[in-house]
Amino acid sequence: MAEDFFRGGVVVGVDIGGTKVAAGLVNREGAIQSQVRTPMPASGKPEDGLAAVFSAIDSVLEKEPRAKSSICGIGMCAPGPLDPHAGVVVNPPNLPCWRNFPLVAEVEKVYRVPVQLENDANAAALAEAQWGAGKDYHNVFYATIGTGIGAGWVIDKKIYNGRTGAAMEGGHVSIDYRGPRCNCGKPGCVEVLAAGPAIARRARAKLSTEGRRSEILTLAGGNLEAVTSEMVGKAYAAGDLIAKQVLIETVDLLALWLGNMIDLIEPDVMIIGGGAATMLNPLFPEIVRRLPGYCVNTRCLEIPLLKAFYGAESGIAGGAALCAKEFAAEVKV
Ligand SMILES: [Zn+2]
């Protein structure tokens, strides 16, 4: 078993977030093993953040004696904005430790293998296109829905980056000119209207005005302020009416947004990942049903809407997917 895993080389996929660094060994088939997590001191000094990344990579390499001799690259993903071409983390709001930080150069210096960097949604999109739900399609649109909404567009296994690497900020596409202001400053971004916090906010509002008995409140221990989107998802699964209303409203907003995406890029497939993907999955048919009302493409119903293959490990797989060339270069039979 272990022999099969290492055949063709492995890369270390590194998922850098605002609170943790996760890393794992990934082989050329996109299988993951030896995952580790370490805390990320995101508001510390630049070198503290870097030390956390080294510590995650070292732990992965130490966990598996054969890893050091089989490693052909390190692929990292982090929240944007970052410059994937230069390998520089620019100024992400949730990684204040790094401002114009040359992360790729620092990691290459230590491990002496090719190192890649991308923003997390683009990287996750590539992993889905390469190994996951999108592997049989040319033109893949990916959305990650969780605390925020991210997007990625992969054409023939290549990420569409735009001019400077800042393309596909799909979560900050506005679907309501008069809508609430998003953290980014724009009005009515799909992120501020349909991501996890918006689901929780809408549920709280409904519960306070309608004051009905609801499974959501039971799950929150009676405390309105404690309501989360996960509780709404659980209550929906248990047949709760308010949870259903909240999720149907969310689904309607997502359908409007996905309709826009179809009119813009007409992908071969649309894939939804992220923390809310499992909760939204039973509602995919509801999203699809609404699409014809929200886009001009008369063949929009031919585009499959699929749940992502990778769940919580999408960042590790995403980082690793950036190293596809390194895998190819290492083929030894
Ligand atoms: Zn925004």
Ligand 1 centroid to 170 CA: how many Å? 9
Residue 54 contacts residue 110 (beta carbons within 8 Å)? yes
The Cα angle at residue 133 between residues 132 and 137, in degrees rounded to 5: 105
Centre of ligand 1 from the C-alpha of residue 162, in Å: 18
Longest dimension (CA), the chain: 66
Which residue carries 């119903």 as its tokens? Answer: 301
Distance 210 CA to ligand 1 centre (A): 29
Q: Cα of 166 to ligand 1 centre, how many Å?
A: 14
Ligand 1 centre distance from Cα of residue 33 (Å):
35
Number of CB atoms found within 10 A of residue 172's CB: 18
Tell me, in angstroms, the distance from the centre of ligand 1 to residue 63's CA.
Answer: 40
> Residue 243 in 3-state DSSP?
helix
CB-CB contact of 232 with 200 (8 Å) = yes
The pLDDT value recorded for residue 325 is 86
Q: Which of 82, 105, 86, 109 is nearest to 16 (CA)?
A: 82
- What distance in angstroms lies between residue 172's CA and the mean position of ligand 1's atoms? 4
**Splitting the chain (333 residues) into consecutive groups of 10 residues, what average pLDDT does each group show?**
76 96 96 96 96 98 89 95 95 93 98 96 98 98 96 97 93 97 95 97 94 89 95 96 96 98 98 95 97 98 98 97 84 48
Ligand 1 center–CA 228 separation, angstroms: 21
Query: Which residues sit with Cβ closer than 5 angstroms to ligand 1, an ion?
Result: 172, 182, 184, 186, 189
Q: How far is the CA of 309 from the centre of ligand 1 (A)?
A: 26
189 C-alpha to center of ligand 1: Å?
5
CA 325 – CA 322 distance, rounded (Å): 8
* Rounded distance from Cα 312 to ligand 1 centre (Å): 24
Q: CB under 8 Å, gap of 24 or more: what pairs does 181-185 form?
A: 183/93
Residue whose entry in the numeric block shows the structure tokens 């950036």? 322
CA of 180 to the centre of ligand 1 (A): 10
Distance 67 CA to ligand 1 centre (A): 40
Terminal-residue alpha carbon distance, the chain: 17
CB 175 within 8 A of CB 253: yes
What b/e string do you get for 306-321 counting C-beta neighbours within 10 Å, with b at 16 or more? bebbbeebbbbbbbbb
CA of 260 to the centre of ligand 1 (A): 16
Check: CB of residue 104 under 8 Å from CB of residue 118.
no
Dist. CA 101 → ligand 1 center (Å): 24
The per-residue DSSP string of 50-105 comes to HHHHHHHHHHHHHHSTTHHHHEEEEEEEE-SSEETTTTEE---TT-TT-SSB-HHH
Taking the C-alpha atoms of residue 183 and residue 95, their distance in angstroms, rounded to an integer, is 16
Global pTM exceeds 0.85: yes
pLDDT of residue 330: 57
